[in-house]
Amino acid sequence: MAAFNSNGKVVNAGDRVTVQGRVASYSGSGSTAQVTVEVPWSANTFVASAQDMKAPDFAADATHTAVSQDGHHFGVAGDQVSVLGIVTAIRGSGNTAILTVTLICSGLSVLVPSGACNSDGV
């Protein structure tokens, strides 16, 4: 059985993915802020650089000091983010298959459930 993304489409190694998540917390500021991301389908979190993300634009104030890849300010717990990467490995099947995703800017690898992702491999 294959791994499936949030739209029920097959995910393959090498696919570009967008991991949907929410800010749990962050430290630092600007594009190098380290953001802890909560993802659907999992109780786990991962930490990524703000430059690996896209986010809705909020006012550039004391509570929104992280800056996404597209220059948008964010950072309050609960803010939506899309983390960009490429699938390098898949373990399991269905929408709970665990994807190893290498993030686009930082090169960090994170583990996320396939059901938390949109992908280009369809």
What is the pLDDT at residue 43? 84
Q: How does DSSP classify residue 30?
A: B
- Please enumerate in sequence order all residues whose Cβ is within 8 A of that of 56, keeping only pairs 6 or more positions apart, or say none: 72, 74, 79, 80
Q: Rounded to whole angstroms, how far apart are CA atoms 100 and 98? A: 7
Please, which residues have CB within 8 angstroms of residue 34's CB and are 6 or more apart in sequence?
Answer: 26, 27, 28, 47, 48, 49, 50
pTM of the entire structure? 0.90
User: Mapping DSSP to helix (H, G, I), strand (E, B) and coil, where does residue 109 land?
Assistant: strand
C-alpha span between 47 and 122 (Å, rounded): 28
Q: List the chain pLDDT tens, one digit each, 122 residues.
A: 799 999 999 999 999 999 999 999 999 999 999 999 999 878 889 999 999 999 999 988 888 999 999 999 999 999 999 999 999 999 999 999 999 999 999 999 999 999 999 987 54
Name the phi and psi angles at 10, rounded to 5. -70, 140
pLDDT of residue 121: 59
Which pLDDT belongs to residue 113? Answer: 95
* Tokens found for residue 52: 């690996």
Neighbours of 120 (CB within 10 A): 14
pLDDT at 59: 86
pLDDT at residue 44, as a whole number: 85
pLDDT score recorded for residue 52: 96
